[in-house]
Structure 1
Amino acid sequence: MRKILVVGAGQSGLQLALGLQSHGYEVTLMSNRTADEIRTGRVMSTQCMFDTALQHERDLQLNFWESQAPKIEGVGISVAVPGSFDPGPSQRAIDWVGKLDGYAQSVDQRVKMAGWMETFAQRGGQLVIHGAAVSDLDYFSRTYDLVLVSAGKGELVSMFGRDASRSPYSEPQRALAVSYVHGLGPRPEHPDFDAVRCNLVPGVGELFIMPTLTTSGRADILFWEGIPGGPLDVFNGVKDPAEHLSLTLELMERFTPWEYARATKVELTDAQGTLAGRYAPTIRNPIGRLPGGGLVLGVADVVVANDPITGQGSNSAAKCAAAYLASIVEQGDKPFDEEWMQVTFDRYWETAQHVTKWTNAMLGVPPEHVLNLIGAAGQLPPVAHRFVNGFDNPADFENFFYEPEKTEAYLASVTGA
């Protein structure tokens, strides 16, 4: 029986560990926190998983919360009139919603990771609660057939060198601020179904709102992405959760009053329901070299860390775990050597490159043809439908999003012009 060590208990690490376990591997999982510490700790993300990623969970029968989590049937786009928020309140230039072919869902990672970790242990997996250092991995690499690193922060990430050719940004492109709330009303435009709402405020940032399942049941996530140094970049140093929510709502009232109108009665889900921070989007080399000569393979956002502006983080983690699992199983008894590690990452990059390209494009100032496309979606339901389903399959944006000629040809094909 081949022995595999997975370091890090997030979406990718746990999905991989449970998947490997189901295939009969002897799996050890290292986490720096217990399941209870995760469950009662601070929110970790703004995950919204689309159909392909959810299917990877279903394939491993890990979709424990599917019947409880809200079914997100659409994605809505609103764009503020540039400058209309000065002095405010903002007005909308664009507002529409498109339907997803398969519903999306969001489960608070405190719920999912704690539940999956307990499942892994119940199924006989070896769970080690320990914050791993490089020196630990140096030792473990000699006792395991493969070491996978899926802990995306801290010392371990330094083993994986930055890939400058694939990382155009060296600084954070957004300041992030998250609040989990109860009491948000429905969007009056579609009160009969749930949707992720993406509100773009040109030159300022973005507000995303998504239904979720948290530790206390149904909730909604309010998520500001502010251009650094701009009017949304005000959460640094805010420690009090109530102050964090108050700031969130003040900014909504000024920049997205149409969303603020349904948020006047919200309250935080719990004292740990806020999060703020920033990081530079970075692609890293997938193979880490240990001081003793051993090799480890980086997983998901250890090696491909995109900004959350396109909502792809947990989706990419699930897709990475699925690709790696397939590569490991296919390798059989052959060694997990450097060549195999590179090929395994390249297999994932086939998918991830499209996410990175789309995300980096959305971080910049949108060119005229993209604004025309988003505007046209308000009048042309097939355009709205195709755009929002790109959240599930970002590779499709190659066909109609990046190049003005392709955008014009696509819009002409829809209108018959």
Structure 2
Amino acid sequence: MRKILVVGAGQAGLQLALSLQGRGYEVTVMSNRTPDEIRAGRVMSTQVMFDQALQHERDAGLDCWESQAPPIEAIGVSVAAPDPATGAAGEFPERAVDWLGSLDAYAQSVDQRVKMAGWMEMFAARGGQLVIHGAAVSDLDFFAGKYDLVLVAAGKGELVSMFARDAARSPYDSPQRALAVSYVHGLAPRSDEPDVEAVRCNLVPGVGELFVMPCLTTSGRCDILFWEGLPGGPLDVFQGVSDPNEHLATTLELMERYTPWEYARATNVELTDEQGTLAGRYAPTVRHPVGHLPGGGAALGVADVVVANDPITGQGSNSASKCAATYLAAIVERGDLPFDEQWMRETFDHYWATARHVTKWTNAMLAPPPEHVLTLLGAGMRHQEVADRIANGFNDPADFEDFFYEPRAAERYLASLERGSVPRA
């Protein structure tokens, strides 16, 4: 029986550990927190997962909350109209773009406090070895000789330093957004659209983005209010805010100023719990997949450890799930052969074939949108097909290659619609 160590108890680490456990591998998971500590701790992410990623969970029998989490059936996009005098977003702006694209299959968001605590308990109940210990490089150096494979799935802390930045694939060397999350109860439906569960993407040019999304949390159904602000801009005001109620009040003040159509349904919201806020920032980075240990051993980086994208496109948990599925297939296919460095690099390359589309799309969305992208977004108001296609790109970002990045490709796509489609009423 092959022995595998997974360091990190997030989406990728636990999905992979449980999947390997189900195939007869002897798996150890190292986590710096117990399930109870995770469940009672601070929210960790926004984690909307689309159908491809959810299917990996279903395949592994890990879709434990699918019947409870709200089914997200659409993606809404709104773009605030700039101030005619300054060209920048002003107070109480109108919307230059506003549409709702339907998903071919629903998405879902489950608070990672719920999911990771539950998965850890499942792993232990099935006989897995769960070690509660904050791992350092020296720990991995010790364990490397005792396991056939060491997987590092802890995307923060000292262990990430083992994996060198891939400058060719990392155009940014500093954070591109300041992030602020609030989990709330009491958000009303949008009064100007069908009452469907949807992720709302609100773009405020020159300022940042507000995402609103339904979620299942420790206290049941909730909504997430998620600001992404340009560093140094008017949304970059959450550093040093430690009081959760002040964090929410600031979130709502910014909504009232920049996205009043969303603020109108948020006047009665309250935090789900005292741990329901999060703020921070990080530089989107791709790293080399093999980490070298002082004693000569090697570890393979997983998910955010090697490909950390900004959450502006909502792909973090999706990419983690897809990475875990790719690595699982490679491990099983390897049989009894050694997990050497060449295999590690080839395994990462298989994952990168998918992840590169996410990184390209995410980095494009962090930059000011070019004219042809604004034209595409505007076309979603005339053609439901455009709105639906952009919405379903969240599930399969590879599709953006065909129409999103190059002006001529966008022009050809829109021209084909004008010739052969009936615009929406």
Q: What SS does the aligned partner of 1:223 have?
A: strand
Letter matched to residue 54 of structure 2:
L
Which residue of 2 is the match for residue 12 of structure 1? 12
In 2: Cα distance, 1:412 partner to 1:345 partner? 38
In 1: Cα distance, 2:195 partner to 2:202 partner? 20
Q: What SS does the aligned partner of 2:49 have?
A: coil
- Alignment partner of 1:33 is 2:33: yes
Q: Sequence identity, in percent?
A: 76
Which residue of 2 is the match for residue 52 of structure 1? 52
Which residue of 1 is the match for residue 362 of structure 2? 359
CA offsets 1:53-75 (integer angstroms, 9 cap, x no match): 00000000100000000000000
- Alignment partner of 1:278 is 2:281: yes
CA offsets 1:320-344 (integer angstroms, 9 cap, x no match): 0000000000000000001100000
Letter matched to residue 72 of structure 1:
I
Alpha-carbon deviation of 1:88?
1.4
Q: What SS does the aligned partner of 1:74 have?
A: strand
CA offsets 1:173-219 (integer angstroms, 9 cap, x no match): 00000000000001123343110000000000000000000000000
In 2: Cα distance, 1:86 partner to 1:361 partner? 20
Which residue of 2 is the match for residue 310 of structure 1? 313
Which residue of 1 is the match for residue 345 of structure 2? 342
Q: What SS does the aligned partner of 2:145 have?
A: coil
Alpha-carbon deviation of 1:83?
2.9
In 1: Cα distance, 2:90 partner to 2:249 partner? 19
Which residue of 1 is the match for residue 71 of structure 2? 71
In 2: Cα distance, 1:86 partner to 1:362 partner? 18
Quickly say closer, same or farther: Cα 1:131–1:371, change in 2 above 3 A.
Answer: same
CA offsets 1:193-248 (integer angstroms, 9 cap, x no match): 11000000000000000000000000000000000000000000000000000000
Matches within 5 A, 1:154-303: 154-303=157-306
Q: What SS does the aligned partner of 2:304 have?
A: helix
In 1: Cα distance, 2:92 partner to 2:414 partner? 32
In 1: Cα distance, 2:310 partner to 2:350 partner? 21
In 2: Cα distance, 1:82 partner to 1:277 partner? 27
> TM-score normalised to the size of structure 2?
0.97
In 1: Cα distance, 2:89 partner to 2:343 partner? 55
Which residue of 1 is the match for residue 152 of structure 2? 149
User: Which of 310, 330, 339 pairs up with 1:327?
Assistant: 330
Q: What SS does the aligned partner of 1:28 have?
A: strand
Letter matched to residue 382 of structure 1:
E
Superposition CA RMSD, Å = 0.9
In 1: Cα distance, 2:416 partner to 2:190 partner? 31
Unaligned residue ranges in structure 1 (runs of 5+): none
Unaligned residue ranges in structure 2 (runs of 5+): 421-425
Alpha-carbon deviation of 1:86?
6.0
Q: What SS does the aligned partner of 1:219 have?
A: strand
> TM-score normalised to the size of structure 1?
0.99
In 1: Cα distance, 2:232 partner to 2:389 partner? 34
Alpha-carbon deviation of 1:82?
1.6
Alpha-carbon deviation of 1:414?
1.2
Alpha-carbon deviation of 1:162?
0.2
Q: What SS does the aligned partner of 2:146 have?
A: coil
CA offsets 1:2-22 (integer angstroms, 9 cap, x no match): 000000000000000000000
In 2: Cα distance, 1:165 partner to 1:246 partner? 41
Q: What SS does the aligned partner of 2:180 have?
A: strand
Letter matched to residue 153 of structure 2:
S
Alpha-carbon deviation of 1:91?
1.2
Q: What SS does the aligned partner of 2:48 have?
A: coil
Letter matched to residue 192 of structure 1:
D
CA offsets 1:147-176 (integer angstroms, 9 cap, x no match): 000000000000000000000000000000
Alpha-carbon deviation of 1:89?
1.1
